Structure 1
Amino acid sequence: MKLVFAFMICVSAVCSFNYAPAQKQQELTNELIWRDYAFYARRVQGFRSMNDGTHFTRLQQGRSGNAILKSSFLSFTAEPEVFVHPDELVYNEKKLTVDDYQFNADETKLLIATDYENVYRRSYTATFYIFDLETRNISPLSEQYPVQTLAEFSPDGKKIAFIHENNIYIRNLADGTITAVTTDGSINHIINGTTDWVYEEEFAITMAYNWSPDSKKIAYLRFDESNVKEFTMTYYFELYPDQYTFKYPKAGEDNSKVSLHIYDSEKNTSTPVQLGEYEYIPRISYSPLDDKLIALTLNRHQNHLQYHLIDGSTNEAKVIYEEKDRAYVEIDDNLLFMEDGKSFIRTSEMDGYNHIYRIYFDGKIEQITSGNWDVIEFKGINNDKGIIYYTSAENGATQQDLYQISIKNKKRKQLSSQRGHTDAEFSTGMKYYVQTWSDANTPYVVSLHEASGKQITVLEDNSALVERMKNFPLSKKEFFTLKGHETDLNAWMIKPADFDPTKKYPVFVHVYGGPGSNTVEDTWGSMEYMYHQLLAQKGYIVVSVDPRGTMYRGADFKKSTYLQLGKLELEDFIAAAKVLKTYDYVDENRIGIQGWSYGGYMSSLAMTKGAPHFKMGIAIAPVTNWRYYDNIYTERFMRTPQENAHGYDDNSPINFTEKLEGKYFLIHGSGDDNVHLQNAMEMVNSLVDSNKDFDLFIYPNRNHGIYGGNTRLHLFTMLLEYTLENL
C-alpha cells in the first residue's frame, strides 16, 4: 500500500504577512480576519512519500512556476534538491503550471496535471502531461482528448488510463496509441469510470475505476442517469443569464442505474459483473496480490451492506461478508487487503462503537480494537510488524488521539502525548509520520516522528501567530457539559476577555448539529475561532453544543435521530438554552442562534418550531425541507418521503413559520449545487404566507461555501452588524 502525503507549506501569500507587535491590546476586526488573513495558521502540506520510505517530494509554488523538490525525512531542514525545475516544464513554448502530480510505480515518470478546474466539491478537469525523469522530455497525455480527469498510471507503469467526457481511455506509453475502453459516455446520460453528483457528494468518491495488479484489466462503474431528474441553476455573468442543468436525485426520486464492468485489454472486451439486487456500489478495489476484485453494494435504505469477491478468471461474484443495521451502515475508505490475500480491514459499528475488524474471505471476523469509544480513522498498517495505526476518541468525543495496536496480541499504545486533536500521515513503509496537533486555543504544531512515536523535529509551530495573538483581547475556549433533553451534552464557551460574573451577557449559540460533524472539538478553529473571539470582544458569550445525533459517542447516540432528523437535536438546543438562562451572568432574553448548512436548518427550526427560546436566528445555506435534498444523504437518515412523510413534515421549518417571533435572517448562494436556492425560496414563500417579517440576502453565483474575492469579508461584516443590531 502506497500512502500519499497531502501537505502544503503555504496556501497563499497571506501566510507571509508580518504584523509588528503592538504596545497595547488591539481590537479584532473582520478585516483582519477575513481580508488580511492575519490569523491564518500555517500547516505543512504537499508531501509525497517515495518508494524508499525515507525521501519525499513536494510542490513549491514560485513566481517563475512550480518546482518539484526532493528531501529526506531525516534531514528535513536541509536544502532540498530541485527534482523538477519549472524551466523544464515547457511544451510547444507554453510554460506549464503544475497543479498536481503522481509517480509511476518505479518512479521514472511523472504524470503532471495542469489547468486544473474544479467542477463540484471533489471533481475537476485538467490537462495532463507525461514527464520522463530520465530523458527529461515532456509530452501531452492526449492531444486528441485534450481535457481529462482522473488520469492514473497502470501498476506496471506502461499505460495510463484517463476519463474524457464520461468515457475511459487507455494510452500505451510505448507506442502512444490510445484505446477507448468505453464509447457510450454522454453528459447527463451515461458516465463511465467516474461518478454522478450524488456519489461524489455523499460517498465522497469520483474515482470509479481500478487497475488490476497485472495491469491487464480495468474494473469500472457505469452510471445510467437517464431516469434521474434534472435540476437547473441560473448564473448571472452576461447580458442574458446562463442556465446550468445537471442530474440531481432528490429524496424519494430515481437514482442512476449503476453497474460494475471489467475491461480486459488483451481481449478488448468489457464484461458486466452480476451482483444481485442492490441500489448503490459505493466502493470497488482490486487485491494488490492477484486477480481478485471486491465490490461493495448497498440497498436503497443503506442498512444492508454486502462485500462481493469477484474472481478475475470467471468474473463471477460471491458474497463473502455482509452487515445489517436497524438504521444504516457506514461506508469507509479502509478497504485494505492484508498480505495473506485472504482478508481485509474494515471499521464497523457492529458492537455499538466504531472499531477495526479483520474480515476473512471465508467469513471469519476478528475484532482488532474494542471498548466503549469510537475509532475515528484507520491510518495504515505495517505488515512486517503486524501493527495498525489509527486515531480514536478513546479520551472523549472532544479529543482525537493517535494509537498503534498489535494485530496479534491486541496490545495498544497511545502515540500522541497532548490533549487536543492529533492527526498523522505516514510515509511509504510506515517508517515515519508527520503529526499535526492543536487544541482549541493553540494553532497547529506540525512535527516529524518515527513510527514508534519518537519526535525527530518540529516542522512548524506557528510561533509568529501565537505571538501575534497576544496583542489581542482573546479569551480561552472552555469545555463543559450541560444537561440536554435526555442526557449530558458536550459544549464549549468563550466569554468576553473582561468578563464580569456580576453582569448579564447576551449569548450567541453556534450550531451545526447534524450527523457526521461535531462542533465541540478540542482543535484549532482558525478564522471561525477568531470571529467568535470578535463576538466576545463585542460583549457576547459564544457557546456551541453537540446534540444527540453527533459523532464519537457510540452508534446509539449517533443514530438516535434516525427517521426524525431535527427533532431530538432541536429538543437538545432548546434544553441547552434553558440551562444557559439559569446562569447568573446570562441575559435570558438575549439568546441567539446561527448555523450554516445543517446548522442553518437547525437555526431555522429553532426560530420556528423552537420559538420563543431564541431572540435572533441566522440561517446560512439551510435545508428547509428534506424533500429538497439529495436522496443518498437524506434517505440514509430518513428513508424516503413516501415511507416516512411525518418524519419529513414534522421537522421542516417551512411548516412552522407561523410560530416565528424573533429576528430571522436567511442567507443563500444562488449557485449552490448542494443545498439548492430552492430551499430559501420555499422558506420565503412560507414566511410570506404566515405574514412574518424577516431578512434575506442572496449571493449571486456563489456555491455552498459562499466565498471568492471579497465575499467572506462582506458576509461576516453583515453577520456581525446583524447580530449587534438584533441580539
Structure 2
Amino acid sequence: MPSLGGSDDRMEADHFIIDHDTDDENPYNRDKVPRTSESDSDVDESSLDREFLEKDSRFLDEPSMEEGHGLDGRNASGYQNYAYPSTIKRSRGRQSKMFIFGLCCILLGAAAIGMLAGSAFQSSSTTYTRKGGTKHLTMDHIFNGTFSPHLENIAWVKEAGDGIYSIRNDDGDILLRSVADNSTDRILVTASDIRDPNSLGDNTPLAFTDWRLSADMQYLLLKTSHRKLWRHSSFGNYFIHRLADHVTFPLRVPESPAKIAYAEWSPKGHHIAFVYENDLFVVDSAEIDLTIAGPKPPRPTRVTDDGSSHVFNGVPDWVYEEEVFQSNSALWWNPLGDTIAFLKSDEANVRDYTLQYYNPSGEAMDPQPYPENFVMKYPKPGTPNPLVTVHSYAIATQATVKQTVRTLTWPGSMPLADRIILEVGWVGDRDLLVKEVDRAARKGSVVIFAKGQNEGKVTRILGKEGEEGDDGWIDHSQNAIPIPGDVPGYLDVVPTKDGYPHVALFAPVTSGEPIWISKGEWEVANGISGVDLEKGIVYFMAANPSMERHLYSARLPSSHMAANLESFESSMQILTDTTVPGYYMTSFSPYGGYYMLVNMGPDVPWQKLVKVGQEDQAVIIADNAALNQTSSEFCLPIVTYTTVETDGVLLNVMETMPPNMDTSGRKKYPVLLNPYGGPNSQSADVRFRRDWHHYLACEKKIIVLTVDGRGTGLQGRPFRNVIRDDLGRYEVIDQVNAAREWAKKRYVDIKRIGIWGWSYGGFLTSKVIEADSGVISLGMAVAPVTNWLYYDSIYTERYMSTPAENPTGYITSAVNNVTAFNDAEFLLAHGSGDDNVHYANTANLLEKFTQADVRNFRFRMFTDSNHAMSGRHAYRELYEYLNAFLDEKWGTKLSSNRL
C-alpha cells in the first residue's frame, strides 16, 4: 500500500534530474492519483502532516500502503515535514458453515482484543522543549507553507566526476558545481542552445522538465510533455542534444499525448534504451552520432514486438510499480553497457477494476450527465497476478535480435502464477542477480546468472528454511550492489539470526554465505547509502536508536584477505552526533568521496555538503535560519518520545502536548491517538514537524499520541512478525493498551479519548472501535481498508498469505462486527476516485451499518478524490471536517475572540 508503506531514508536523485515539475513534487503522486490524472492540489502539501505519507509509504496515495517502500520517492532534497522543539532531555529507563464459523471468529476476536488489551505499561522518555512565542497557530499557517523547510535539490552527475552536482540557474542554464569548490560553476549547456527541432527555424527554446547526461558526456537526453500515470510512472516525448555542436533532435517523433514510458542512457558510451507502447527499443550510439539537426529521429532497433495493453516489456505494470519496484523502470543495463536485462509482465488474466469519475472536468458548475469510467488492472488477494519472466538482450549482436533476446531460467523456479520477482540487478560486469519469492513471501531464492549464462544457479535460500529463519515475511527490497575485486562479490542487506537486517558481503558472487559488514541489535534502514571502492568503505543509515537515524561507515575486507574472508571482523564508525537525538538523511556521490547530509530533526532541518575525511570543512547549503526565527515566534507544543512496555514488548510512543499544560489534574485534556501502524512502517520518530497535530495541541489543547505497535518496523523481525496472517489484532491491542495507560494520568479526560488514522491508520481506527474497549469513545477513519480482500494481492498476501491459505485470518481482520459503532462517535471519509484503497472498502462498511441499524456516525465522500485527497480543495477541507467533528464532540471550538 504505498501509503501503507515505509519511509525511505535514502536521498537519491531520480533517474532523471527533475526541474521541479509541480506534479512530481507532490509527494502524494507516488500513491495513486487517479493514477491517470495530474495533481492539482491547491495547498502546499509539503507543509502538511504526512503521517500517512511515510508511515508505511504505501497506503499513501499519495498516501498508500506499503512495507518500507513507499509513499516516498524522494530525490536528493526530499523530506517529510515532521518534527520538533529543542531543549532535549534523555532518560533511559462451505459457505454457510464458513459464515457461521466466521461470525464466531468475529465476535470472539473482538471480545478477546478488548480483554487482552489490559497489560500494564512501563516507560522511559526523551522530552523536547523549546521556548516558543506568543503567536497562535492557524490552519492557514499549517497549510500554506509557513513552516516548510527549504532544502536544495542536489543531483549528483556521475559522468562529470565524483563530487560534481548540477543546478539550473534562473535562465534555465544547466551548471555543474563541485563540492570541492562550491563557489565555481561550469556551464554544461545554456538554455538558449537547446532549441526545439520542430520550431520551423525560429530557434524556439525546447521546454524540457527532466534531463540526463550520457556516460561519455557527449549528449543530453531531455524529457518534455510530461504526462503522469501512476505513482512513479509517467509518459513523455524525449529529445537528444549533442553538446559539441548544439544539435537537438527527437528520440522518436513527438506525439500528443506522449507515449514513451521510459528512456535511459547506457552506463558506458551513449546507447539509449527506451520503452514505447510497452515494447523495448534500443538506439545504438552510432545511429545517434549520424543524426543531424531537425525533426527526424535516429533509427532504433526493436527488441520486443509483443507489447500491448496487457504485456509490458522494460516497465512494470501497476502492481509491480506500486508494490515491488517502487519505480517506473523494469530494465537494467549491465556495467559494460552492452547488455540489458528486462522484465516482461503479462497481466492478461488480471481482473479489471473500474473507477468512476462523477465530475471529470473538476468544475462543480459544469455537470456531466454520465460519469467517466477508467478501467485498470488490479489484482486482489487470491486472484491472478501478472505473469513475469526475466530476459536479456545483447547490444553487440543486435543485428540478429530474435537470437539475442534470451529468456532466463533456473532449476526449481516457481510456477509463473505463484511467482513474484523481487529484484533484478547486475552484481558484476556479466553477473546478474534475480530474487524470486512466492505470493505469500514465505519462501524464495536468490539466483545468479554468472558470466552471461542463460541458466542460473540458486545461491541463497530465503524464508523460514533460509536466511530469515522465522515465520515472518520476506521483505520486498532491492539492495544488491556489486563489489569488484580479487574476489568479486556484492553487498546486500540481510537479516541476522537475531532478526536485524544488516549489510552483508557475498563473495564470490556465487557464494551463499554472508560476511557481515555491520552488526548489532538495530536495523540498517533503507539499504546501502554509498560505497567508496577505492578506500573499501560502505556507508549506511542505522536506526539506532530506532526512532533516530545516524550515518555509519564500515570497512570492507581488504584485498589481502581474499583467501580468508571468513575471518573478517566487522568494524564500524558513527559519523553523526549521537549525543543528542537526530534524524539524518544522506545522498552519496557516485564514487563515495562526498555526501550531502541533512539533519531532519528534531530541530529545524539543515543541509550541508561534505567531503569524506573533511567533515569539519563541510559547506552549509541550507540552514533555514528564517524558518528558525518564524518557528520561534509561534506556539510550540511539548513533545515527548517514550518507550513503553506491554506484554514484555517495548513500543515507541510520541506524545505531543499543549504548551504550559497543567498536569496537576485541575484541568482535563482530551487525548487523540494517531496510528499508522502498517507492517514495517514507522510513525514515531524525531523528525521535524509543524503540522495539524501541533495545531490541535496548541490551539485546541488536545494531546496527540502516536504509538508504533507491534508489526511496525525498525525494531527487528520478531517485533513485527507477530502480526503475520493476523492483521488488526496485536496492533489494536497495543493502541487500546496505550489509551488505557494514558487514561490513568490525572490530567487526561477519560471521557474524551479518541483515535484517528488514514489508510492503514484508518483500518486500525475502525478495528479499535470494533473492539469496544471501553476506553476509546471516538474514532475518525479516512480512506480505510475494511476488508483485506479489497486490497491488492502483492501487498496483502505478503502479510496475510492467500485467502485459501488463511481463510480465518481474512475474516477476523475485516471490520465485521459493527455493534460497538452504536456506542462511539465515529467519522468516516473516503475519496470516490481512490485507486489505491478502493472506495468499496467504505461502501461495504456503510452497508454493514445499514443492515445492523448503526446510525451514530458521520460520513463524507469526497467526489473523485484519490487516496491523498489532493486537488479540488479536498485536502484542506478534509482537515476542516475533522476539526468540526472534534469541536462538536469534544467542545474544542476556538472562541470567537480568539479567532
TM range (shorter): over 0.9
CA contact (8 A) 2:656 2:697 kept: no
Partner letter of residue 383 of structure 2?
E
In structure 2, how many angstroms separate the alpha carbons of the residues matched to 1:658 and 1:4? 46
CA contact (8 A) 1:9 1:46 kept: no
What displacement does 1:243 show? 0.8
CA contact (8 A) 1:416 1:453 kept: no
CA contact (8 A) 1:31 1:713 kept: no
- Alignment correspondent of 1:43: 151
Partner letter of residue 343 of structure 1?
G
- Alignment correspondent of 1:102: 212
Secondary structure of the corresponding residue to residue 600 of structure 2: strand
In structure 2, how many angstroms separate the alpha carbons of the residues matched to 1:485 and 1:579? 13
In structure 2, how many angstroms separate the alpha carbons of the residues matched to 1:353 and 1:24? 43
Deviations 1:126-177 (A, max 9, x none): 1111111221221111017752122011233332111112111112343321
- Alignment correspondent of 1:309: 448
Deviations 1:462-509 (A, max 9, x none): 111111112211123211233435523211112111311131100111
What displacement does 1:660 show? 4.2
CA contact (8 A) 1:617 1:665 kept: yes
In structure 2, how many angstroms separate the alpha carbons of the residues matched to 1:610 and 1:398? 30
What displacement does 1:118 show? 1.9
Partner letter of residue 292 of structure 1?
D
- Alignment correspondent of 1:678: 840
Deviations 1:199-222 (A, max 9, x none): 111112331112234433322111
CA contact (8 A) 2:267 2:333 kept: yes
Q: Does 1:330 align with 2:475?
A: yes
- Alignment correspondent of 1:184: 306
In structure 1, how many angstroms separate the alpha carbons of the residues matched to 2:263 and 2:701? 53
In structure 2, how many angstroms separate the alpha carbons of the residues matched to 1:51 and 1:226? 40
TM-score, structure 2 normalization = 0.76
Secondary structure of the corresponding residue to residue 180 of structure 2: helix
In structure 2, how many angstroms separate the alpha carbons of the residues matched to 1:342 and 1:689? 64
What displacement does 1:9 show? 9.8
What displacement does 1:552 show? 1.4
What displacement does 1:182 show? 1.1
Secondary structure of the corresponding residue to residue 600 of structure 1: helix
- Alignment correspondent of 1:548: 710
What displacement does 1:52 show? 5.0
What displacement does 1:354 show? 0.9
CA contact (8 A) 2:333 2:341 kept: yes
Q: Does 1:387 align with 2:537?
A: yes
Q: Does 1:403 align with 2:526?
A: no
What displacement does 1:106 show? 1.4
Please list, as runs of the form range in 1=range in 2, the aligned pairs for 1:251-650 lying within 5 A after superposition: 251-265=381-395, 266=397, 267-269=400-402, 270-275=405-410, 276-278=412-414, 279-289=419-429, 291-311=430-450, 313-325=452-464, 326-340=471-485, 342-351=488-497, 352-360=499-507, 361-377=510-526, 378-394=528-544, 396-408=545-557, 409-417=569-577, 418-440=580-602, 442-452=603-613, 454-455=615-616, 456-502=618-664, 503-526=667-690, 529-650=691-812
What displacement does 1:15 show? 12
Deviations 1:343-400 (A, max 9, x none): 2111111421111111231333211111111111311211121111011122x21111
- Alignment correspondent of 1:163: 275
In structure 1, how many angstroms separate the alpha carbons of the residues matched to 2:439 and 2:210? 36
Q: Report % sequence identity.
A: 28
| Unpaired stretches in structure 1, ≥5 consecutive residues | 18-22
TM-score, structure 1 normalization = 0.93
Deviations 1:604-645 (A, max 9, x none): 111122443222211111111011111111111110112112
The one of 218, 222, 226 aligned to 2:348:
226
In structure 1, how many angstroms separate the alpha carbons of the residues matched to 2:883 and 2:208? 39
CA contact (8 A) 2:311 2:344 kept: yes
Cα distance change on mapping 1:558 and 1:14 into 2, 3 Å: closer
In structure 1, how many angstroms separate the alpha carbons of the residues matched to 2:679 and 2:511? 34
In structure 2, how many angstroms separate the alpha carbons of the residues matched to 1:560 and 1:407? 34
Partner letter of residue 473 of structure 2?
Y
Secondary structure of the corresponding residue to residue 595 of structure 2: strand
Q: Does 1:195 align with 2:195?
A: no
Q: Does 1:237 align with 2:360?
A: yes
Cα distance change on mapping 1:342 and 1:70 into 2, 3 Å: closer
Cα distance change on mapping 1:245 and 1:86 into 2, 3 Å: same
* Comparing 599-608 and 148-157, the one that deviates more: 148-157
Partner letter of residue 268 of structure 1?
V
The one of 83, 87, 107 aligned to 2:188:
83
In structure 2, how many angstroms separate the alpha carbons of the residues matched to 1:649 and 1:511? 22
Partner letter of residue 106 of structure 1?
D
Q: CA RMSD in A?
A: 2.4
In structure 2, how many angstroms separate the alpha carbons of the residues matched to 1:124 and 1:11? 12
CA contact (8 A) 1:570 1:610 kept: no
* Comparing 301-310 and 144-153, the one that deviates more: 144-153
Secondary structure of the corresponding residue to residue 649 of structure 1: helix
Secondary structure of the corresponding residue to residue 816 of structure 2: helix
What displacement does 1:232 show? 0.7
In structure 1, how many angstroms separate the alpha carbons of the residues matched to 2:268 and 2:658? 60
CA contact (8 A) 2:422 2:478 kept: no
Q: Does 1:206 align with 2:333?
A: no
In structure 2, how many angstroms separate the alpha carbons of the residues matched to 1:82 and 1:606? 58
Q: Does 1:703 align with 2:866?
A: yes
What displacement does 1:245 show? 0.7
CA contact (8 A) 1:381 1:387 kept: yes
CA contact (8 A) 1:517 1:551 kept: yes
What is the number of equivalent residue pairs in this alignment? 710
Choose between structure 1 and 2 for higher RCO, CA contacts under 8 A separated by at least 6 residues: 2
In structure 2, how many angstroms separate the alpha carbons of the residues matched to 1:257 and 1:499? 58
Secondary structure of the corresponding residue to residue 580 of structure 1: helix
* Comparing 271-280 and 505-514, the one that deviates more: 271-280
Partner letter of residue 716 of structure 2?
G
In structure 1, how many angstroms separate the alpha carbons of the residues matched to 2:173 and 2:887? 47
Partner letter of residue 422 of structure 2?
P
